[in-house]
């Protein structure tokens, strides 16, 4: 078996495609298997079978979030007694541009939709052609979740995280859209800029002022209360308007670019600080160019470890590769294993 594919029939894009798994299986043919995973819990048994059958390529029918869960569950399976200590390693994994942003695929040069990517992958394997691959750093992420039964530690893996401040607030507005896409990024930024003169001044209290306009920028720039430790150094203040970290550079819909310093092997790139809303807005041209953020109250630098601890009543809700993790008391980021991704180009 060469190719193992998982597809989520409940995802936003697959809900109206009940024959999705069959469609992808017809493309893969006898070179592999396609399995529909109804929930996160159903991913691990499928990946366990992929390992047993020595599937060389694991393919996630989806974008950054789909690859995130494949990576997390795959690493858990690799640590099971059946596979631990053997010559097993994480297979070559591939997203398929099925998400709303697809920054991982963009970073490594994967182009095309799932159908064309799988078709290209199959044909190249059948022809015995070499498939170019690249390795990228991941992050190992250790968190503590507050539950009704007490604190629960967990471990996951990822590539880019909005742990608090404007990044996390951005995603809350981005995913509130009925159909989030690159245009939504522009809409969120535009709404924020239009709201700032009102929401961040006494004008918001004027009678008849639209509630949405008066609150949008205030919500967007709402700081996150936290204790932040960067490479062993406790940062001053505990109200952060930005807590972000990544193990690779990201391009959000060809609109803004961040974490250029993360492409150094063995290092992550953090963007952390307490800049004012105006200082953040003034950095927008740098975001568009992909330059490092600048300002007296912001750090944009390589790092090896970041620890974030919730303070006050608000628990952390980091967005990891587009996936929300809620009710966290603490989260710790370190450089994780290198992940192999094939550089496959299909038809757009």
The pLDDT value recorded for residue 348 is 56
Mean pLDDT value of segment 61-69:
89
pTM, 2 dp: 0.92
- % of the chain exceeding 70 in pLDDT: 99
pLDDT-derived band at 211 (thresholds 50, 70, 90) equals: confident
The pLDDT value recorded for residue 276 is 94
91 and 201 together in one domain: no
Is position 328 within any domain? Answer: no
The pLDDT value recorded for residue 227 is 97
Contact between 109 and 343 under an 8 Å Cβ cutoff? The reply is yes
Q: Which residue has the higher pLDDT, 211 or 258?
A: 258
Count CA atoms within 13 Å of residue 272 on its CB side. 29
Residue 103's CATH number: 3.40.50.10330
Q: What is the mean pLDDT of the chain?
A: 92
Classified as helix, coil or strand, 143 is: strand
176 and 309 together in one domain: yes
Give the span between the Cα atoms of 299 and 273, in whole angstroms: 6
97 and 133 together in one domain: yes
Give the span between the Cα atoms of 33 and 30, in whole angstroms: 8
130 and 178 together in one domain: no
Express each pLDDT in 108-158 by its tens digit: 888 888 999 999 999 999 999 999 999 999 999 999 999 999 999 999 999
pLDDT at residue 95 greater than cutoff 80: yes
Number of domain units in the chain? 2
Give the β-pairing of 92-95 and 57-61.
parallel
pLDDT at residue 297 greater than cutoff 70: yes
165 and 314 together in one domain: yes
133 and 270 together in one domain: no
The pLDDT value recorded for residue 1 is 86
Mean pLDDT value of segment 48-68:
92
Give the span between the Cα atoms of 240 and 261, in whole angstroms: 21
Is position 104 within any domain? Answer: yes
39 and 177 together in one domain: no
Residue 299's CATH number: 2.60.200
Give the span between the Cα atoms of 286 and 288, in whole angstroms: 5
Express each pLDDT in 231-266 by its tens digit: 999 999 999 999 999 999 999 988 999 999 998 899
Mean pLDDT value of segment 200-215:
78
288 and 236 together in one domain: yes
Is position 112 within any domain? Answer: yes
100 and 185 together in one domain: no
Domain around 47: 3-137
Contact between 252 and 189 under an 8 Å Cβ cutoff? The reply is no
């Amino acid at each position: 078996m060469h190719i193992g594919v998982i597809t989520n029939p409940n995802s936003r894009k697959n809900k109206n495609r009940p024959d999705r798994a069959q469609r992808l299986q017809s493309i893969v043919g006898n070179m592999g298997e396609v399995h529909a995973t109804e929930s996160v819990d159903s991913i691990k048994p499928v990946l366990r079978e992929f390992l047993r059958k020595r599937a060389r390529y694991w393919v996630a029918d989806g974008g950054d979030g789909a690859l995130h869960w494949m990576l997390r569950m795959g690493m858990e399976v690799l640590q099971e007694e059946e596979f631990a200590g053997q010559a097993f390693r994480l297979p070559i994994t591939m997203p398929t541009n099925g998400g709303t942003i697809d920054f991982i695929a963009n970073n490594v040069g994967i182009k095309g939709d799932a159908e064309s990517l799988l078709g290209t992958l199959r044909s190249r394997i059948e022809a015995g052609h070499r498939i170019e691959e690249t390795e990228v750093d991941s992050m190992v992420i250790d968190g503590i979740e507050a539950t009704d039964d007490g604190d629960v530690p967990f471990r996951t893996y990822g590539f880019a995280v909005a742990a608090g401040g404007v990044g996390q607030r951005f995603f809350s507005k981005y995913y509130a859209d009925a159909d989030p896409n690159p245009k939504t990024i522009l809409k969120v930024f535009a709404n924020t800029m239009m709201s700032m003169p009102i929401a961040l001044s006494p004008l918001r209290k004027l009678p008849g002022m639209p509630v949405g306009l008066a609150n949008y920028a205030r919500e967007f720039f709402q700081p996150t209360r936290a204790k932040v430790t960067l490479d062993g150094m406790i940062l001053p203040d505990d109200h952060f308007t930005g807590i972000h970290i990544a193990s690779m550079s990201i391009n959000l819909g060809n609109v803004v670019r961040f974490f250029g310093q993360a492409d150094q092997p063995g290092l992550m790139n953090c963007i952390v600080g307490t800049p004012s809303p105006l200082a953040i807005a003034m950095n927008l041209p740098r975001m568009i160019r992909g330059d490092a953020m600048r300002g007296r109250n912001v750090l944009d630098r390589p790092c090896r470890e970041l620890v974030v601890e919730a303070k006050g009543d608000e628990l952390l809700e980091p967005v990891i590769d587009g996936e929300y993790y809620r009710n966290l008391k603490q989260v710790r980021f370190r450089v994780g294993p290198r992940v192999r991704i094939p550089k496959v180009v299909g038809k757009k």
